Chain A
Amino acid sequence: MKLSDEQRALQETAADFLAAHTNARKETDADAELWSRIVELGWAAVQVPEDLDGLGLGPVELVLLMEEMGRRLARTPFLANVVLAQTALLQAASAEAQQRALTALAYGERTATLILGPGLDAEPASLTVKARRDGDGWVLAGEAAQVLDDGLLTHAYVAARIEEAPGVALFELAVDAAGLSRTPLEVWDLTRPQARWCFDEVRLTADARVDDPARVLAGLARTRVLAALQLAAEQVGGAAQCLQLAVDYTKERVQFGKPVASFQAVKHRVAEMMVRMETARSTVLGVASRVAQGAQGSGLDDAALAAEIAAARVQASEAYRYCAQEAIQLHGGVGFTWEYDPQMHFKRAQWASQWFGPTRDWREALAAHLLDAA
């Protein structure tokens, strides 16, 4: 899990660039420019295979980028486009569909999101969009209540239930498809915009179905698990920033003639934040390294992969919520105000703790793995 020189360079570039160019409080108009610069830096090409003109890198590089984006609450389609849509294509799509879409997604000719069940649940029973055959083509109907959609999208990959085996298919559609309506939602976390998507008899041609039926179910399940690891990295970055904010503020805030940072009660709180955040960081990085090795063939099966990522997910979710809560407390009265940043992390931490399933569900899945095997 030791980083290579190239990986360290990527990490440093990302930290510097995002520190200079993100501001979670800016007007949304600036989002498009930030996203196009990120694409220019090649970050959207990181996990795209080299034969599709990508960089052919993997989960470790993505983890490094996601951590820095989480630190700065970057409002970009990176999670939707790279972590979700690209991963779904890599894990569940036919080779032909991959060829058609991945290069475009890597270089900003397209920007996509992924639609699974609510909160990005990949269980077939939770999917709320249905597909039925219509001659050679398909018709999508239904509603996706909360889609990651920041207005910059051009495309979506939609997992829909169908009648025939295996019961789930992945469709590609453009956001201007007839019958599709997108209604922005009033979200608490303003840095993670969402919309309700209604599919009113959206007609698609035959080639809009992009999955490889033999691996669509397992592939979408794996997409959710791999994306949860990346979200965990983002959570670690957010937790790290909460810690930094708390340390900086308590060092400058003077009470009773001393900086409050010199009080043991305060020191113990920030130290506890650091323990939880660094433990989660170690696990995220370690698991990402194992996944990267697995990609080279030395093997994590799906159950072992899910268990390892569950550990990262549980730690990161709880570390972020804990650190955001403590950052508010350690800022005293101003911690409750709109003007100071802890509230933004508090909202992001809450959002992140629910999408891809709450920690309770990840723990129960682990318990089943540990306790119920024959």
Chain B
Amino acid sequence: MSMNEQEFRQEVADWMATHLVGRFACLKHRGGPGDEEAFPALRKEWEQELAAGGWVGLGWPKAHGGRDLPLALQLAFHEEYVRAGGPGRIGHIGETLMAPTLIALGTPEQQRRFLPGIREGREYWAQGYSEPGAGSDLAAITTRCWPGEDGRWRLQGQKVWTSLAHESEWIFVVARSTPGSVGREGLSFLLVPLDQPGIEIHPIRQMTGEAEFNSVFFDGAVTEADCIVGKPGEGWKVAMALLGFERGVSTLGQQMHFIHELQLVIDVARANGAARDPAIRQRIADAWVGLQGLRYNGLRMLEEDTGSTKVRPEALIYKYAWSNWHRELGQLAMDVIGVAGDVRSDDDAVRRLQQVFFFSRADTIYAGTNEIQLNIIAERGLGMPRG
């Protein structure tokens, strides 16, 4: 580790120690998938606090208000952030998906219009890909869009599983712009303001009892002519570029919360005696082993040459590996908690593990189910023929 990195880590740790206090103290280790309903308003204020500290857009080019930090330092930031208990990022979709897409494929006007709002924590984004009939098959999208006589785009249709739409100002939508087109052809990528009469947002209550996903209905909703990224009909290309950013450094950072969750399991096991059970000991050790696998696989993915066009196995297996690991951790946590797990706990640590147990059932479904992931790995990674 270079001195530079050690100093940087210390800087992050010091900043967190002096800022994640007072009214923000209740945010420690809160938020993130499965806990998105925790303090949304206060977490937005925290995003602004982070922005003021210069911790948003670390990897963005300087010309776009970022810091252009090397990968090792971005990773160091995420590690120290999680170590200090930094809350799940409510601005995650904007910062790590929307912004890189706009920087790569947006017009200068779009970059000027949207990047400052993302970087300063003023505007939040939701993702409008999935549809009730499409799932992982984006080519089956039926939400329609068309340019009106005033030049503005109009939308009709429904998106689903939209995280935090009710907390967001904007949504990016993949919709069919060429009537009668099929598959990947004829799609467009639109930026749409959520607060308008043509949009209704309905929460979807999850098995955890919470509602961090939504259905979003578009009934003649509108957006401006210049709110299309790429050309009309080339939305597939933009959508795929955005998904490429999903495997970036911040995703790895998010998963560093797993270290904290495993530590919670260990704490419970030590407190209630489960740590003496030989079978539980083996499973806890296995969870730690699996976490090292995720960590080293993630590092390998990030350190490889990103300019390389060849299929990288570590990137292909990443989603399948982490989601299954997390699902197992949820089951292990409940087995460690035992019969007390039947009752909604008012102990923060136990409650968190209960959320992991239930919410992690979604991990192996969203962003490509296990079955889709295995097909992708087999076909792209191993060259197995399509059926």
Contact = CB atoms under 8 A, between A and B. Distances in A.
Interface of A: 1-2, 243, 247, 250-251, 258-259, 261-264, 266-268, 270-272, 274-275, 278-280, 282-283, 285-287, 298, 307-308, 310-312, 314-315, 360, 362-364, 366-367, 370-372
Contacts of A360: 282
B289 A366 contact: yes
Given A247-B383, A311-B288, A279 B293 contact: yes
Interface stretch (B210-218, B235-243, B313-321): B313-321
A321 B3 CA distance: 42
B282 A267 contact: no
B377 A274 contact: yes
Given A310-B289, A363-B286, A367-B282, A272 B374 contact: yes
Interface in B99-122: none
B62 interface: no
Nearest to B386: A262
Contacts of A282: 293, 296-297, 299-300, 314
A258 B314 CA distance: 29
B269 to A, nearest CB: 7
B313 A366 contact: no
B63 interface: no
B343 interface: no
A263 B377 contact: no
A217 B292 CA distance: 28
B257 to A, nearest CB: 18
Given A267-B384, A315-B289, A364 B320 contact: no
B1 A298 contact: yes
Nearest to B370: A268
B314 A278 contact: yes
Most interface-central of B266, B304, B377 (chain A CB within 10 A) = B377
B288 A287 contact: no
Contact of B285 (A261, A298, A370): A370
Nearest to B292: A311
Contacts, number: 134
28 contacts: A1-B300, A1-B303, A247-B382, A247-B384, A262-B387, A263-B387, A267-B379, A267-B384, A270-B384, A271-B320, A271-B375, A271-B382, A274-B382, A278-B313, A279-B294, A282-B296, A283-B293, A283-B297, A314-B286, A315-B289, A360-B282, A362-B285, A363-B285, A364-B282, A367-B281, A370-B284, A371-B270, A371-B284
Contacts of B13: none
B148 interface: no
B385 interface: yes
B375 A2 contact: no
Most interface-central of B270, B278, B381 (chain A CB within 10 A) = B381
A279 B288 contact: no
Nearest to A364: B281
Which 9 pairs of residues, A with B, have the shortest CB-CB distance? A286-B296, A267-B378, A367-B281, A311-B292, A363-B285, A282-B297, A271-B377, A366-B285, A271-B374
B375 A267 contact: yes
B93 interface: no
B138 interface: no
Interface in B304-327: 304, 313-314, 316-317, 320-321
B199 to A, nearest CB: 38
Contacts of A283: 292-293, 296-297
B377 A315 contact: no
Contacts of B84: none
Contacts of B377: 271, 274-275
Interface in B141-162: none
Describe A's contact surface by its main secondary structure: helix
Given A1-B300, A272-B374, 18 more contacts: A268-B374, A270-B378, A270-B382, A271-B382, A274-B316, A274-B377, A274-B381, A279-B294, A282-B293, A286-B292, A286-B296, A307-B288, A310-B289, A360-B282, A364-B278, A367-B275, A370-B288, A371-B270
B281 A371 contact: yes
Contacts of A362: 285
A211 B379 CA distance: 53
Nearest to B375: A267
A261 B313 contact: no
Nearest to A312: B292
Interface residues of B, number: 43
Describe B's contact surface by its main secondary structure: helix
B229 to A, nearest CB: 32
Contacts of A278: 297, 313-314, 317
B371 interface: yes
A268 B371 contact: yes
A18 to B, nearest CB: 21
Contacts of A310: 285, 289
A249 B384 CA distance: 11
A264 B45 CA distance: 48
Nearest to B381: A274
Interface string B259-299: 00000001001100001001001101110110011111101
Contacts of B317: 274-275, 278-279
A308 B292 contact: yes
B247 to A, nearest CB: 14
B264 to A, nearest CB: 13
Nearest to B262: A370
A301 B224 CA distance: 60
Contact of A1 (B293, B299, B374): B299
Contact of A275 (B1, B321, B385): B321
Contacts of B385: 251, 259, 261-262
A307 B289 CA distance: 9
Contacts of B299: 1, 282, 286
A286 B294 CA distance: 11
Given A247-B384, A274-B382, A275-B320, A371 B266 contact: yes
B369 to A, nearest CB: 12
Nearest to A275: B317
Most interface-central of A247, A261, A279, A312 (chain B CB within 10 A) = A279
Nearest to A298: B1
Contacts of A314: 285-286, 289
A314 B387 CA distance: 34
Contact of A363 (B270, B282, B313): B282
Interface in B357-384: 371, 373-375, 377-379, 381-384
